[in-house]
Amino acid sequence: MMNDFIPVNEPLLDGNEKKYLLECIETGWISSEGPFIKQFENKFAARVGRKHAIAVTNGTAALDASVDALGIGVGDEVILPAFTIISCITQIIRSGATPVLVDSDPLTWNMDVTQIEAKITPRTKAIMVVHIYGLPVDMEPVLDIAKRYGLKIIEDAAEMHGQTYRGKPCGSFGDISTFSFYPNKHITTGEGGMIVTDDDELAETCRSLRNLCFQPQKRFVHERLGWNLRMTNMQAALGLAQLERLNEFVVCKRAMGALYTELLKDLPDVQLALAKTDYAENIYWVFGLVLNDDVPFDAEEAMRRLSAKGIGTRPFFWPMHEQPVLQRKGLFDAERYPVAERLARRGFYLPSGLALTDEQIERSADAVKEIINHD
């Protein structure tokens, strides 16, 4: 049985990846100085329609640098969704700023944008929007609020390569926007991330933060604390080859989502990832589902049962206000975000990698039907 275990993710690396990687080895360009970095950055910026792209070591680092580049620190508040990955909140906390949470929309699983305005105070500096699992956040209301209150937008598009909101690329909406290239993403560099922006000064700051804030004239004299977030030429080589195939990958993921939806749509007890809204069609970074309340077990048990049937799964995010490490810091005391809490307990995702075959999708869907049918 375990021989044909269906992994939750497997990337596709059968384009120019090998050729470009070999070029790195043959030319000796393996550090962050190599030519693929600029090529990857330029092509990525063009794809998202931004002036600048800054390649970094991962999506978390991209967020950390973005928060720091905006000068967010003690006394500032940043509004973000409760239902997200810890990467979104780490630098907000470390900088001494205060994270302010909003709950999720129960259908899209994205931040409920109608809750943002009530959370704004004179200390609010930025809104961090996080596009979740393949459907974008409803950006128009967020852009409108940011404009009216003079707030910055940090757009976490880690899961959104190739996605658009009302026809405009995700990653083009933030004052600063970020991506991840972890292998479960639509395109991967093994580990990697990208910051994009149209602002020359922010771009320059991010480039400096990426490189320990070395100074051009006095290299080892520092005016600011940075990080070493440099991507290697080998990672950029992979990224360039992957980017060439992004359109194809989006088509592939949409076909995966459509097949799962078709196979599971009549199952009464689960809520499936929403196929579309009036502003976007899902690109299914992952195919998620949420167990209805009449299913007599939670996501953890469902994942255990699916694993026993050879199906790989992953849980949904665990909300920020329920993180022990943050509660111990005295954050979010007695705050409740019921939609996020329910998603965390009832939601998980099925095998969703690019290498998935129709037969594997059918087997995964059959297994879900078997474990859910509790008649």
Count of other CB atoms within 10 angstroms of residue 96: 11
State which of residues 24, 54, 100, 130 lies at the interface with ligand PLP (CB under 6 A).
Answer: 130
State which of residues 21, 85, 194, 231 lies at the interface with ligand PLP (CB under 6 A).
Answer: 85
Beta bridge partners of 129: 155
Of 265-304, which residues contact ligand PLP (CB under 6 A)? none
Residue 166 is inside which H or E element, if any?
A: none
CB of 159 to ligand PLP, least distance (A): 5
User: Which range binds ligand PLP by CB under 6 A, 44-52, 153-161, 331-339, 362-370?
Assistant: 153-161
Q: Which residue is nearest to ligand PLP (CB)?
A: 59
What would the two tokens of residue 252 be? 């592939």
Beta bridge partners of 194: 55, 179
In terms of C-beta density within 10 A (0-12 exposed, 13-18 middle, 19 or more buried), how is residue 54 classed?
Answer: buried
State which of residues 55, 126, 127, 158 lies at the interface with ligand PLP (CB under 6 A).
Answer: 158
CB of 15 to ligand PLP, least distance (A): 21
Q: Give whichever of 153 and 367 is closer to ligand PLP, judged by the CB atom.
A: 153
159 binds ligand PLP (CB under 6 A): yes
Please give the Cα distance from 261 to 136 (Å, whole number): 19
Count of other CB atoms within 10 angstroms of residue 257: 23
What would the two tokens of residue 284 be? 């299914």
CB of 165 to ligand PLP, least distance (A): 15
Please give the Cα distance from 195 to 121 (Å, whole number): 27
In degrees and rounded to multiples of 5, residue 40 shows phi and psi of -65, -45
State which of residues 9, 66, 163, 180 lies at the interface with ligand PLP (CB under 6 A).
Answer: 180
Of 17-76, which residues contact ligand PLP (CB under 6 A)? 58-60
Which residues here bind ligand PLP, judged by CB under 6 A? Answer: 58-60, 85, 87, 130, 156, 158-159, 180, 182, 193
